[in-house]
Amino acid sequence: MTDTDGHLAAVHERLRNACRRAGRNPEDVGLIAVSKRQTVAAIRDAYAAGQRAFGENYLQEGLDKQQALAELAISWHFVGPLQSNKTKAAAEHFDWVHTVDRLKIAQRLAQHRHASATDAPLDCCIQVNLSGETSKSGATAAELPELAHAVARLPGLRLRGLMTLPEPADNEADQRAPFAELRRLLEELRSEGLALDTLSMGMSADLEAAILEGATLVRIGTAVFGPRD
Ligand X SMILES: *Cc1c(COP(=O)(O)O)cnc(C)c1O
**Interface ranges with ligand X (CB under 6 A):** 34, 36, 57, 79, 165, 203-205, 219-223
Nearer to ligand X, 110 or 224 (CB): 224
Name the closest residue to ligand X (Cβ).
Answer: 221
As measured in angstroms, the least distance from the Cβ of 81 to ligand X is 9
Nearer to ligand X, 36 or 102 (CB): 36
Nearer to ligand X, 42 or 156 (CB): 42
Nearer to ligand X, 58 or 149 (CB): 58
As measured in angstroms, the least distance from the Cβ of 127 to ligand X is 8
* 82 three-state secondary structure: coil
Nearer to ligand X, 2 or 204 (CB): 204
Question: What is the rounded end-to-end Cα distance, in angstroms, of the chain?
Answer: 23
Alpha helix segments (H runs only) across 27-171:
40-48, 59-68, 87-93, 103-115, 144-152
Nearer to ligand X, 57 or 87 (CB): 57
As measured in angstroms, the least distance from the Cβ of 68 to ligand X is 20
The size of the chain, in residues, is 229
As measured in angstroms, the least distance from the Cβ of 219 to ligand X is 4
Angstrom distance (rounded) from CA 100 to CA 112: 14
Phi-psi label, residue 202: left if phi above 0, alpha if psi -120 to 50, beta otherwise? left
Long-range contacts from 138-146, C-beta under 8 angstroms, 24+ separation? 138/101, 138/164, 138/165, 139/101, 139/102, 141/181, 141/185, 144/185, 144/189, 145/188, 145/189, 145/192
As measured in angstroms, the least distance from the Cβ of 203 to ligand X is 4
As measured in angstroms, the least distance from the Cβ of 36 to ligand X is 6
